[in-house]
Amino acid sequence: MSSNQITSNHQAIQHTEPRAETAWVFKFIPRLSPEERKNIETYLNITRKYKDEINELALEDLNDHPIWGPIIKQMPKEMMDARNDLSYNLQIGAVVRDEWEAYLTDLVQQGVQYAQMGILFKDWYEIVAQVRKYLFPILHKEFPNQPNRIIDTLSGMDTFIDLGMTVIGESYIEEKRKITEKQKIEILEQKQLTQRTRSLIEASLDPFITTDIKGKITDVNEAMVKATGLSRERLLSSNFAEHFSEPLQAFKGFELVFEEKGYVSNFPLQLRHKDGSVRDVLYNASIYRDENGEALGVFAAARDITEQKKASMRLEQLNHEQKETIELVGEQNKRLINFAHIVSHNLRSHSGNIGMLLNLYQEEENPEDKAALIAHALQASNRLSETITNLNDVVSVQLNINEQRSKINLYQAIEKSLEIVAPDLKSIEAKVSIDVPKDILIEYVASYLDSILLNMITNCIKYQHPDKKLEVRFHLNTSLNHTILEISDNGLGIDLDKHGNKIFGMYNTFHEHKESRGLGLFITKNQVEAMGGKIEVESEVNKGTTFKIYIS
Amino acid sequence: MKQKIELAFIVDDDEIYVFGLKKMLSIHNICKNILIFSNGYEALKYIKPLLSSDTGLPDVILLDINMPIMDGWQFLDEFIKIKPSIQKKITIYMVSSSINPADINKAKSYEEVSDYFVKPIRLNDLSKILEE
């Protein structure tokens, strides 16, 4: 049995696809002399002739061999025979008809296969040595007393086996090179993959951490280092929960990962920086496991939503501001339309009266009545100009919004307005108290403040209760957000259920009073609003009225 | 012209207008009697005690809109409340300087209001009143 036959036998069991990359083997095609050819042929034919004997000897010898024993034993006889026939045909074909390609390719395939099985190249030499041993007695039997023929046949065998061993050896080397290359590539790829993953994790702006199953941090990325202000070394081995403003809540999120589906998503937490600042994050965490499904730890990524939150707050604020602007514009628009109607109404009523009176004047014949009509027409004309003056007052409030503010002592301003109406106050024995700190300064347009205060006190006098002595109280109410001047009286009061919507309207009066122009509160409101404040009223009929002027 | 109006109310706070209107009504001999009220509240105060009686209630009310204390609209709202107990047919005309469409439409929405005249009221308008 030749070494080639043994390899061939195994080929029959472990059938593999022929390899395409065996072209290198053709450089080993030998140039045999006719003599060498003949010697090899003789060797092949003798091993063929005595194959059964050789096999028997081999079986005996190699039965206990750690490598070859199991291979020979597990091979059925028919298969071994078939393989031996194939090998013999390939060998003869190569040696006799120069069909080396088929033979060498087959050899390489087997070499590769044995290499892949883990059989060492040195194991082959044992086989070769054995074959030599078996062949001596056979050759002596075949060529008795012909030592030259024995030597020639052995020489042919050596030539052929050397060739076979060289090719198998090369295929071993080739295979090993391929395996090493493959491993190298695999190792490289693995390394690249790890690097890529790592750089992906590092490139992320989101803080990443991995922890063991107890929550101890096993790895962090740069974003986590930045977000906490702690070094990687300090973070590693610390418990992840301590880096959140609410560690208990963080740990609850951690437990949820194990309790539920193996992950949590968008769990809101606050990541703590060592400088005390916090960032709002949404945590997404999941368990990672070994190949047996055993939990190794938790991978967690925190999405920083601080900026998002800021943006949404800013957006909310903008929306709010926009809404306020729209409301303000709407309010101003409404006021303008209202003002246009007021102007139209007031001018029409006077001009209409003049027209009516002049028509009547033409028809009237009685001189006395004619004089009366003219007198009334004159009065109407006066009222027309008065109305125009009033309207001008209102318009100027709207126009002078940018008038210069100055620092005004509120207490002194109130005293000044009281001085103007002092004779009236004295004649009705009114009691006025000023509950305002004497050193309070407000930033206001001086003429507006005077106008507002005078209008307030004048209203108090006009609408005093006939059965009570007038009491007026100025009171400054300062809170965190507002400075409010409250002016209260014990006068007639206004039925706000009836007139509430009209009290600050133009030409609306609510009492039978000769001096009511219905203009004062309209102008006051405009002035207060022009200063960025507002005016409110509380009142009860027969009890009194309180106006609240928001100064800021 | 048809029959004279027995009693007309003028509810208006503009005394110049009232003077002119009174003059016009008397020149053209439209009304036998005229009563003047300077706002809705005054008129209502007068009407309320007379609800069940036949006399003293007007045939026509010429009602202004913008008035102190109780304006034309408030008067109408109060008038609607007491209307069921009034036997007499009272015709109400709104008379105002306002050409604001909102006011005109609002007036039309009141069943009790027969028409809306823009000041200054003209003779044509008064003839219409008589024809009613």
Look at the block and give the residue holding tokens 């503009």: B14
Contact predicate A50/A138, CB 8 Å: yes
What amino acid occupies position A321? E
Supply the pLDDT for residue A4: 45
pLDDT at A424 over 80: yes
pLDDT at residue A399, rounded to an integer: 63
Which stretch of DSSP H or E encloses residue A194?
helix A147-203
Q: Inter-chain contact A348–B99, Cβ cutoff 8 Å?
A: yes
Is B27 in contact with A364 (Cβ distance < 8 A)? yes
Evaluate if pTM is beyond 0.80. Answer: no
Tell me which residue in B23, B66, B97 faces A360 most closely, judged by beta carbons: B23
Q: B74: which chain A residues are within 8 Å (Cβ-Cβ)?
A: 498
Minimum-distance CB partner of B68 among A344, A372, A509:
A509
Range A232-253 average pLDDT: 87
Phi, psi for residue A200 in degrees, rounded to 5: -60, -45
Buried b (16+ CB within 10 A) or exposed e, B19-42: bbbebbbeeeebbeebbbbbbbbb
Could you identify the residue written with the tokens 């709010």?
A320
Is pLDDT at A82 greater than 60 in this prediction? yes
Share of chain A above pLDDT 90, in %: 15
Q: What pLDDT was estimated at residue A448?
A: 86
Paired tokens of A208: 């990443």
pLDDT for A10 equals 40
Residues from chain A that touch B125, judged by Cβ atoms under 8 A, are none
- Give the distance from residue B13's alpha carbon to the nearest chain A alpha carbon, in angstroms: 10
Partners of A349 on chain B (C-beta within 8 Å) are 14, 17, 97, 119
Instruction: Determine the distance in angstroms separating the CA of A386 from the nearest CA of chain B, rounded to an integer.
Output: 15
| pLDDT band at B42; cut points 50, 70, 90 | very high
- pLDDT for residue B110: 92
- pLDDT tens digits, A143-153: 888 888 888 88
Q: Phi and psi at residue A251, in whole multiples of 5°?
A: -70, -30
Place of tokens 């007026």: A472
- Mean pLDDT value across residues A49-65: 83
Asked whether residue A6 carries a pLDDT value surpassing 80, the answer given is no
d(CA A519, CA A505): 8
Residue bearing the bigger pLDDT, A176 or B106: B106
> What 8-state DSSP symbol labels residue A242?
G
Instruction: Show residues of chain B in contact with A360, CB under 8 Å.
Output: 20, 23-24, 27
- Judge: A380–B68 Cβ closer than 8 Å, yes or no: no
pLDDT band of residue A22 (cuts 50, 70, 90) is low
Least trusted range by pLDDT, from A65-79, A267-281, A390-404:
A390-404
Between helix A121-142 and helix A3-13 the angle, nearest 10°, is 120
Write out the two tokens for B132: 């009613």
Picking from B37, B119, B124, B125 by the largest number of A CB atoms within 10 A of its own CB, the best residue to mutate is B119
Span A180-208, average pLDDT = 80
pLDDT at A304: 78
pLDDT at A14: 39
- The token duo for A270 is 């606050």
Partner-chain contact B69 A511, CB within 8 Å: yes
**Is the pLDDT assigned to residue A72 strictly greater than 80?**
no
Give the pLDDT confidence of A308-345 residue by residue, as tens digits.
788 888 888 888 888 888 887 777 777 777 777 777 87
Mutation choice for B interface testing from A356, A376, A381, A508 by most B CBs within 10 A: A356
Q: Rounded CA gap, A220 and A216, in Å?
A: 11
**Mean local confidence (pLDDT), A10-22:** 46
Question: Hunting for tokens 């081995």 — which residue is that?
Answer: A237
Summarised one tens digit per residue, pLDDT across range A203-213 is 777 888 888 88
- Residue A58 sits at the vertex; the CA angle it makes with A56 and A63, to the nearest 5 degrees, is 100
In the prediction, which pLDDT does A510 show? 52
What band does A2 get if pLDDT is binned at 50, 70 and 90?
A: very low
B110 within 8 A of B78, measured Cβ to Cβ: no
Interface of A with B (CB under 8 A): 341, 344-346, 348-349, 352-353, 355-357, 360, 363-364, 369, 372-373, 376, 379-380, 383, 498, 507-513, 516, 518
pLDDT of residue A398: 63
- pLDDT confidence tier of residue B113, bands split at 50, 70 and 90: very high
pLDDT at A8: 42
Chain A residue with minimum CA distance to B19: A376
Contacts of B119 in chain A (CB under 8 A): 348-349, 352-353, 356
**What was the pLDDT predicted at A15?**
40
Partner-chain residue, chosen from A364, A379, A510, that has the shortest CB–CB distance to B69: A510
- Output the six-digit token pair for B50: 């007379």
Secondary-structure breakdown of chain A: helix, strand, coil percentages, each rounded to the nearest 5:
60, 15, 25
Set of chain B residues whose Cβ sits within 8 Å of the Cβ of A514: none
| pLDDT tier at A282, thresholds 50, 70, 90 | confident
Give residue A25's Cα distance to chain centre. Answer: 60
Tell me the pLDDT tens digit for each residue of A478-515: 887 889 999 999 998 888 887 776 777 666 555 554 44
Q: At what angle do helices A147-203 and A121-142 cross, to 10 degrees?
A: 170
Which residues of chain A neighbour B97 with C-beta distances below 8 Å? 345-346, 348-349, 352
User: pLDDT-based confidence at A109, cuts 50/70/90?
Assistant: confident
With an 8 Å Cβ cutoff, are A376 and B97 in contact?
A: no
Chain A residues in contact with B69 (beta carbon < 8 A): 509-512
Specify the pLDDT at position A9. Answer: 40
- Lowest pLDDT segment from A100-109, A328-337, A401-410: A328-337
CB contact under 8 A, A349 and B24: no
Inter-chain CB proximity A352 and B119 less than 8 Å: yes
Is the pLDDT at B19 greater than 80? The verdict is yes
- B100 to chain A: which residues are within 8 Å by CB? 341, 344-345
**Residue-wise pLDDT tens digits, B44-103:** 999 988 887 778 899 999 999 988 788 899 999 999 999 888 888 899 999 998 888 888
Q: Within chain B, how many helices (H) and strands (E) appear?
A: 5, 5
Distance CA A101, CA A93 (A): 10
Nearest CB to B97; choose among A348, A372, A380: A348
Strand boundaries in A32-99, DSSP class E: none
B68 → closest Cβ in A341, A360, A516:
A516
